Amino acid sequence: MATVLYESAYGSTAQYAHALAERLGVTAAPLSDAPLPAGATGPLIVLSYVHGPKVPAASFVSRQDLGERPVAVCAVGMTLLDVARDKDQLKGMVPAGVARFYLPGRLSYPTMSRRHRMIMWGIVKALRAKREADRSPNEQAMIDSYDADTDHVDLRELDAVVAWAEARA
C-alpha cells in the first residue's frame, strides 16, 4: 500500500496530496503528523512546496533510511512546468533512485506571509530592472503574476505519479 505525505504552505500541495491519495485508495497525511510505518514496503510519495532552494519533501526523504522502498518526491511550485522539469532542482537534493515529479502550483498574494511577500517584491523588483529582451519566459511569468492570484494547479499532472506508484505497488 502506498503512503502519501505532504507539507503545504498555501494549499495547493495539500490539494494534490489528497487527490493523489484518493486515486491510490489511501489517506494523505501531513509530514508533521506522519511517522513512517516500520517495515512498510509500498511506494512512499512525499509532496511539498518549493520556496527558492527550500523543498521540504526533498529534505525529509534525504534524512530517512528508507531501505529498498520505492520513493517519489513531488515538488509543487510556480516555476513554469517545462522549466522546472528541465532544471530538475530535485536531482541534486534526493538520493539516487528517488523518482522526481514537478507539479504546477497556486499562489494567492492575500494569504502570503509578510516575509514571503517581501521576498517576492525584491525578486520582482530585480527582474523588472532587467531589459525585457534579457528576461527568460519564467522571469517574465513571475513579473506578470506578481501581486495577483495565480492558479496553475492541474490534477491531471498526477497521472504520471499514479502510474509510477501503481507500477511499484
My answer on whether 65 and 121 are in the same domain is no
- The whole-number pLDDT of residue 106 equals 95
My answer on whether 82 and 137 are in the same domain is no
Beta strand extents in the chain (DSSP E only): 3-7, 28-30, 44-49, 71-77, 99-104, 106-107, 150-151
- The whole-number pLDDT of residue 62 equals 94
- The whole-number pLDDT of residue 40 equals 79
In order along its 169 residues, the chain shows pLDDT tens digits of: 899 999 999 999 999 999 999 999 999 999 987 767 667 789 999 999 999 899 999 999 999 888 889 999 999 999 999 999 999 999 999 999 999 999 999 999 888 899 999 999 999 999 999 999 999 999 999 999 999 999 999 999 999 999 999 999 8
The number of C-alpha atoms within 13 Å of 25 and in the hemisphere containing its C-beta is 5
My answer on whether 56 and 11 are in the same domain is yes
My answer on whether 59 and 141 are in the same domain is no
My answer on whether 142 and 71 are in the same domain is no
- Give the CATH number for residue 24: 3.40.50.360
- The whole-number pLDDT of residue 65 equals 84
My answer on whether 103 and 113 are in the same domain is no
My answer on whether 85 and 8 are in the same domain is yes
My answer on whether 8 and 68 are in the same domain is yes
Integer Cα distance of 119 and 86 in angstroms:
24
Domain count, the chain: 2
My answer on whether 67 and 133 are in the same domain is no
My answer on whether 125 and 84 are in the same domain is no
Q: Which domain holds residue 81?
A: 3-107+151-168
My answer on whether 162 and 96 are in the same domain is yes
My answer on whether 31 and 91 are in the same domain is yes
